[in-house]
Amino acid sequence: DIQMTQSPSSLSASVGDRVTITCRASQSISRYLNWYQQKPGKAPKLLIFAASTLQSGVPSRFSGSGSGTEFTLTISSLQPEDFACYYCQQSYNSYTFGQGTKLEI
Amino acid sequence: QLQLQESGPGLVKPSETLSLFCTVSGGSISNGNNSWGWIRQPPGKGLELIGTMYYSGMTHYNPTLRGRVTISVDTPKNQFSLKLTSATAADTAVYYCARHLIAAAGPYNWFDPWGQGTLVTVSS
């Protein structure tokens, strides 16, 4: 199975900060990497698919990059509504998720 | 706009079968390259794929659950279902259904949209 490891597991930041979350795969997954945002008590919401394609309706302050085994999700200027948990998910072989990164104020 | 809604018992006894349904609205369950999946999240923990049914009718199940899981589609009801046999306390989780979209131009794929989720507790 392909293991997905996110870092950090939690992150404290302020409104207006630039934040980067890293996701590493245990083997190459090309660009088969998706990012989701989950707020407390809510279902996950797709942010980015295929490593860097922004889902329709997602603000442009979110961006994704990477290929192979290392990927990043960047939020260019944090807004109050961005404080949530973020998950990466590989879709190359089976569909495993990272453990999540909790972004806190 | 496609919407999904989970339904089913919120309490299941140990050793019994956990059964959930996902009703799709705003589109046909048999439309194009739509596949359908189930994902769960134990309280306070991360996300785990349970399985997915591809538009071809083939299924993929999480190896750790294989043998206990069945996903099926009921086209007339625009609904798909999950059955998980021999439930234990470890199966207590919020269960989400989601469309598993596979890009027409290539095998990139992702889960979107998701249902709101339903909490299932396995306890006597």
Taking 90 as the threshold, does the pLDDT of residue B104 lie above it? no
Per-residue model confidence as pLDDT tens digits over B49-86: 999 999 888 999 999 997 999 999 999 999 999 999 99
Query: If you average pLDDT over residues A47-62, what whole number do you get?
Result: 97
For every residue of B2-56, DSSP letters joined together read: -EEEEES-SEE-TTS-EEEEEEEESS-TTSTTEEEEEEEE-TTS--EEEEEE-TT
In terms of Cβ atoms closer than 10 Å to its own Cβ (0-12, 13-18, 19+), residue A10 is exposed
* CB contact (8 A) between residue B110 and residue A89: yes
* CB contact (8 A) between residue B114 and residue A50: no
Query: Of A2, A95, A99, A102, which to mutate for an interface test with B (greatest number of B Cβ within 10 Å)?
Result: A95
* CB contact (8 A) between residue A43 and residue B117: yes
Share of chain A above pLDDT 70, in %: 100
Per-residue model confidence as pLDDT tens digits over A71-105: 999 999 999 999 999 999 999 988 999 999 999 98
* CB contact (8 A) between residue A43 and residue B115: yes
Per-residue model confidence as pLDDT tens digits over B9-20: 999 999 999 999
Chain B residues close to A94, C-beta within 8 Å: 49, 60, 62-63
In this prediction, residue B57 carries a pLDDT of 87
